[in-house]
């Protein structure tokens, strides 16, 4: 730890508690303390200081203990570390280390989600923002048209802004593949709704170079060293 300390949200992320954004929310809730004193956003943790969350000690993750998982999230599981939520992803997986999701996948969608206790990696992916690909398979409630495919690929106004151009490929009468470089809230569902289509099923099959492949629903695997090296190079 640096001599002048590290920001508390980074400490919590590096400890595998949650993302930095989620850490700021927990700090604002008043459930994080440093040396017994309730912390505030922007607090720095100095060498030798103790950090607790709801009274339980939080320690930094050693380099050798860092892990990145690829998980096939079923519908109905929520990408939250909040254990008070009965559908939270952490209790569903029951992994033996403290981990959290990198990004989100909404409750009614299925497919690939990455989880980790490596705060630096999670932060780099978050900072990459709209510069990394995510691929989805989508089934809608009525036949696709050339106009639908064209407009989906060339941007639509949702949430006060126009979506970035993306790749769209029809693979069935009501079924298509889409590759996004954005992560707007419920983006694909909102895009379809704008064109008066309803998403029936949505599955994420790739995040950057990590593929869902044949991983069964509800199962996870460790991301391989080769995949991780490629991922870091892309970042």
Catalytic positions, written as ranges: 106
**Opening angle at CA 114, ends 1 and 43, nearest 5:** 30
Q: Quote the CA–CA distance of 211 and 8 in Å, as a whole number.
A: 33
Q: Are 9 and 41 in contact (CB under 8 A)?
A: yes
User: In the structure encoding, which two tokens stand for residue 145, read together?
Assistant: 């048209």
Q: Quote the CA–CA distance of 183 and 222 in Å, as a whole number.
A: 24
Q: Quote the CA–CA distance of 78 and 111 in Å, as a whole number.
A: 12
């Amino acid at each position: 730890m640096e001599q002048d300390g590290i920001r508390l949200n980074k400490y919590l992320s590096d400890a595998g508690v949650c993302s930095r954004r989620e850490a700021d929310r927990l700090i604002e809730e008043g459930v994080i303390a440093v040396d017994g004193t309730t912390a505030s956003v922007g607090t720095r943790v100095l060498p030798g200081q103790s950090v607790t969350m709801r009274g339980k000690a939080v320690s930094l993750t050693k380099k050798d203990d860092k892990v990145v998982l690829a998980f096939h999230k079923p519908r109905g599981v929520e990408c939250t570390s909040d254990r008070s939520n009965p559908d939270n992803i952490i209790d569903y997986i029951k992994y033996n280390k403290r981990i959290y999701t990198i990004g989100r996948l909404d409750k009614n969608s299925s497919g690939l989600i990455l989880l980790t206790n490596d705060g630096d990696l999670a932060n780099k992916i978050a900072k990459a923002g709209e510069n990394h690909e995510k691929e989805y398979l989508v089934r809608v409630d009525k036949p696709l048209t050339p106009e639908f495919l064209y407009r989906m690929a060339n941007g639509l106004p949702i949430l006060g802004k126009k979506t970035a151009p993306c790749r769209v490929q029809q693979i069935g009468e009501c079924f298509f593949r889409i590759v996004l470089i954005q992560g707007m809230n419920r983006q694909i569902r909102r895009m379809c709704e704008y064109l008066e289509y309803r998403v029936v099923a949505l599955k994420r099959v790739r995040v950057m170079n990590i593929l869902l492949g044949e991983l069964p629903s509800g199962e996870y695997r460790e991301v391989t060293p080769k995949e991780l090296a490629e991922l870091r190079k892309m970042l």
